[in-house]
Amino acid sequence: MKEEFEFVCPECGERISVNGGVREALLENGCLLCDAELSERDFRPVSGPLRS
Amino acid sequence: MSGGIRAELKLEAAEACPVAMATTDRRTAITDISRNVSSGNGSVVEEFTTDATTDVEDDRMYPVFTYDSQITYRFDRDRSLECPCHRVEQHDIPVSETRIDNGSLVLTFHVTDLDELGTVVEDLREHYPVSIERLVQSGGDGDSDDLVFVDRGSLTDRQMEVLQTAHDMGYFEYAKRSNAGEVAAKLDISTSTFSEHLAAAQRKLFADLVED
């Protein structure tokens, strides 16, 4: 099954639709634009509830 | 299988891309874009492919090749005219697709990793408002994509004809709609010749599909 997520950077606010592979890469390397450290809370499944 | 990342970027610079603006229906994706810098007058020769049903209204662009439902167009562009695609390609990254979406230019290209993409986006943002719409990494994340290139060009015309005929006659189906003798008869060759062509074609295709 292909998972899709909406990523929102907690530092720079960049908002991107990503798949599972990119999510893993971002969690490992940080935001591609501001290098902010990321956690799983920064990703929400596109079909899931909105993050507060 | 790990791989690179397909990036889809939206730029508020639609009018800056002559290729994306070429079609009357600008939502149509334009693919197979290539550029060649001319040594003569300093222009850039560009080619792109679009659906044959799409009208290209720019008089500078002329068709050079038609295949199936696709038409390839060519035109000369003045090098001094800035283009977002060209800026991406200055990073040695070919743009694979352009289209217009709600007045914005959407570019699709592939990068090896997120660092490379970050560099491209930073560069573009010095010139245009850019949003990163979608990033997809191939393989390695449990999704079902496991793409490989299969080089049909490695097949001879005869091997391709044998495969196509066998496929059309249901030779590969379960249960088979025709046997080797029937396909061979359709091709006007012996059953053993059919088997030899088929085996040769399979050897070439399977070499692309499975690991050594």
Q: From the centroid of its chain, how far is CA B29?
A: 11
B128 φ, ψ to 5°?
Answer: -140, 155
Question: Residue B150, SS3?
Answer: coil
Of A17, A20, A29, the CB nearest to B114: A29
On whether residue B142 sits in a domain, the answer given is no
- On whether both B81 and B157 belong to a single domain, the answer is no
Chain A contact for B123 (CB, 8 A cutoff): no
Confirm if B76 and B62 have CB atoms less than 8 A apart.
Answer: no
Residue B95 lies in a domain: yes
- On whether both B76 and B100 belong to a single domain, the answer is yes
Q: For position B121, what pLDDT does the model report?
A: 96
Query: Pick from B73, B105, B137: which residue ends a domain?
Result: B137
Contact across the interface for A16 and B142, Cβ inside 8 Å: no
Place A49 in a pLDDT band, splitting at 50, 70 and 90.
Answer: very low
Q: Are residues B18 and B75 in the same domain?
A: yes
Number of structural domains chain A divides into: 1
The answer to whether residue B28 scores a pLDDT higher than 70 is no
Predicted TM-score (pTM) of the model is 0.62
Across the A/B interface, how many CB contacts are shorter than 8 Å? Answer: 62
Q: How many CB atoms lie within 10 A of CB B60?
A: 13
Residue B119, pLDDT above cutoff 70 = yes
Cα–Cα distance measured from residue B105 to residue B18, given in angstroms and rounded to the nearest whole number: 11
Contact B211/A at CB under 8 A: no
Q: Establish if B54 belongs to a structural domain.
A: yes
- Return the H-helix or E-strand segment holding A26: helix A20-29
Query: pLDDT at residue B112 above 60?
Result: yes
Which residue, among B66, B58, B70, has the nearest Cα to B26 in the 3D structure? Answer: B58
Shortest Cα distance from A27 to chain B (angstroms)?
A: 12
* Separation of alpha carbons B142 and A22, rounded Å: 12
Return d(Cα B115, Cα A16) in angstroms, integer. 15
User: Is residue B127 located within the same domain as residue B178?
Assistant: no
Is residue B146 domain-resident?
Answer: no
Number of domains in chain B: 2
Q: Tell me which residue in B121, B134, B141 faces A33 most closely, judged by beta carbons.
A: B121
**Using a CB-CB distance cutoff of 8 angstroms, which residues of chain B are in contact with residue A29?**
114-115
Distance from the B94 Cα atom to the nearest Cα atom in chain A, whole angstroms? 20
Q: What residues in A contact B139, CB-CB < 8 Å?
A: 21
Tens of pLDDT, residues B41-69:
667 788 888 887 777 878 888 888 887 78
ipTM of the shown complex: 0.88
- End-of-domain residue from the set B112, B137, B162: B137
Residue A31 lies in a domain: yes
Q: For residue B133, which residues of chain A lie inside 8 Å, CB to CB?
A: 16-17
Determine the 3-state secondary structure of B108 from DSSP: strand
| pLDDT tens-digit readout, B70-105 | 888 888 877 777 788 888 988 989 888 888 887 788
**Contact residues on chain B for A24, CB-CB shorter than 8 A:** 137, 140-141
**Does A27 contact chain B (CB < 8 Å)?**
no
Contacts of A46 in chain B (CB under 8 A): none
* Residues paired with B62 in a beta bridge: B74
Full domain range(s) for residue B157:
152-209
**Contact indicator for B208, B151 with CB cutoff of 8 Å:** yes
- The answer to whether the CB atoms of A21 and B139 lie below 8 A apart is yes
Distance CA B165, CA B100 (A): 40
The domain of A22 spans 4-45
CB contact under 8 A, B133 and A17: yes
Give the gap in angstroms from C-alpha B10 to the nearest C-alpha of chain A. 11
Q: How far apart are CA B35 and CA B44, in angstroms?
A: 7
Reduced to 3 states (helix: H, G, I; strand: E, B; else coil), residue A3 is coil
Residues of A whose CB is below 8 A from B112? none
